[in-house]
Structure formats: C-alpha cells, structure tokens
Amino acid sequence: MRHAHTIFYSRIYHRNSVYCICGGNRIDYICIVTIFASPANGHARTEMTERDKLPLYEIKESEHDSIEFEMMEMPDFCNRRYNNPFVAHLHGFYQILYFRNGEGCHFVDFKRYPVHGNMLFFISPGQIHYFDRQIRSEGTILHFNESFLSDENSSESVFLKYNMFNAFDTEPFCRLSDADAERFNLLIRHLRQETANRTLFAHRDYLKYLVQLFLIEAQRVGSWNVENLLCPNDTANRLFIRFRQMLENHYTRMHTVKEYAVALNVSSKTLTNCVAESSRSTPLKLINDRIVLEAKRQLFYSDIKVKEIAYLLGFEDPSYFVKFFKRQTGSLPAEFREKSQNG
C-alpha cells in the first residue's frame, strides 16, 4: 500500500453526481465530495481547515496489472502502519479483514463491533472505519480494486457486490465455524501462492477467481446476523439487491420510492413488498437511512456548511434538509456535529 494521500472535503459540489478523486479513478458510489493533494503538485485546489482532512488509502499501483491486489498479515499490518489503523480513515478499494483470532473493537460508520476469532469483515470504498488501540489480532487482510467486482451483467456478481459490500443497512461481518474457517485458511494459502506468480499464464484471472471463490464461500457458509438470509435465486431478493444497487448509486438525486420503482420497471407496491420480504423494512426507510448516513459522515468528518451538505445530498432547500435530518435523528445537523465532534 502506498503512503496515504490526505483527502480534503471540498466546498465544491455537483448536484447530480458526486466524485471522489483517488488515483485518477471515479468512484460513483463514494458520496464524499473531495479533492486531494496529489504527489505531482503537493497542494490542494481549495482552502481547508484541519478538520477537513481525512486519510484516504489506496493500493499501490502496478506497472503491468489493470487489477490491483494486496495481501497483508495481522498483527504485522497494525504494527508497521503505526497509528493509521487507529485513526478514522477511508479507502478507494474493497477490503476483507479475516480474523482467525482477535479481541478488541472495530468501528464502522458510527457503529461499534466487537472483534472475535473466525470473523470476516467486509469494508466498501467510502466506508469510514478504524480500530481501538486495544485490538489484538491474528489474521489476513485482502485489498482489491473495482475490477474484481465489475461484472454487473452477472446476477451472482451483483449479488456479492451489493449484499456483502455496499450494504449499509446490515452489519458488515459474518462469523465462521471452526470447520469452515479451515476452508478459508486454504483459500488464503492459495491466494498467497498466486500473488508470487505474477508472470504465469492468466495470473490476473486466477486471482479474481480466487477472490470470488472466497466471497462465494462466505455467502454460503458464513453466519450473518440477519433475520432473512438473502438468496440470489429468489425473485424478491434479486429485486431487493437491484434496489440496493440503485440506491447506492443514486441516493443523492432520487429520494422517493416511485423514482426507484420506475427505474426498476416495477410498481411501487411490488418494490415495497419485495423490500419488506427481504429486509423487514420499507424502501422509503432505506432511502432515508442512506441519506442520513452520508449526512452524518459529512457532519462528523468535515467542516462543510450544512447548506452545502443539503445541496450535495440533493435537497434544493437547505431548510427542508434540516427538518428532514431532525425528523430522522432527533437532532438538528448543527447539534449532531457539535455533539459528535466534542465526543
């Protein structure tokens, strides 16, 4: 992994789409408007305060590979990165944390999760997370870029991408039995061997298949803390995953159930029934929850003005955003910011 760039929350926004600049790539589903100081010019293009800074980590670039992949071991990862894992940060890649043994806490998007052995955490680009300093861990960390999950013509790939990752409405981890953990240990050994085979035939494809196999195994045997385990062969579950996919990409400009139903070519009633069957929730609640999560991220980790956050999230009238946030959280945006930043 290269040294972290510093990410800066910009006072520039685009009403219909949001960009994250990281290594020249556009990541549509990271809704943090940012500009970072590139190594080339050494400075950002906007005025900033200290609170505007949040570390963004990227996978080191490869001279020849279009896919990017890293594999690291714990606790070496925490030891050699000094304070980085213990400070709130985000990255422009997907991350799997496999704890063979562990204790301590992992914080992901304002929620605290105790760490135990035989746990898998799935962190998406744009999610903000960190560990407490009491973390004790043994395991493996996998980093990979968008190309590993880029086949959105495959229902299985879409299912993995928007069920294990990019699923803000569920907990970002699963547990493994001792017997199943052995299967993942075997996959880790295969991945480690393949990372040394960069010159062999179909190296990139082999790596992608191994990562996908890792995800498929987790989907099959992992113990997820959900009432309803989604099934890609279930019609209602497939529609729900498509809705989650669309929500993650369009929540800054689509705020109503009807808009999503039209885009998915179903009736609002059908969408509501499928979401209820799949998640015990409603489409409107998930839409509102996703908007609130992004608002909280901006309020906590940046000094962007409330009215600019409102515009960023697709509200034409900032006063309506303030009322919306108060209705959803019980606090005004300014109150939430003051309380969260003052600990």
Q: In this predicted model, what pLDDT tens digit does every residue of 206-215 receive, in sequence order?
A: 999 999 999 9
pLDDT tens sequence across 181-227: 999 999 999 999 999 988 899 998 999 999 999 999 999 999 988 76
pTM over cut 0.85? no
Give the H or E element holding residue 274.
Answer: helix 268-279
Nearest C-alpha neighbor of 254 from the set 17, 9, 13, 12: 17
C-alpha distances (whole Å) from 234 to each of 161, 228, 277 are 17, 12, 11
pLDDT tens sequence across 32-78: 333 233 333 333 333 333 344 566 666 665 544 556 899 999 887 76
Structure tokens given for 204: 């990139």
Architecture (CATH level 2) of domain 69-221: Sandwich (2.60)
Angle at 82 between CA 76 and CA 86, to 5 degrees: 100
Residue ranges of domains in the chain: 5-57, 69-221
Percent of the chain whose predicted confidence (pLDDT) is above 70: 77
Q: In the prediction, which pLDDT does 91 show? A: 83
* CA–CA dist 201, 191 (Å, integer): 15
Q: In the prediction, which pLDDT does 44 show? A: 30
Distant-in-sequence, close-in-space partners of 139: CB < 8 Å, separation ≥ 6: 73, 74, 97, 98, 99, 100, 101, 102
> Which residue matches tokens 């714990």?
74
The whole-chain average pLDDT of the chain stands at 80
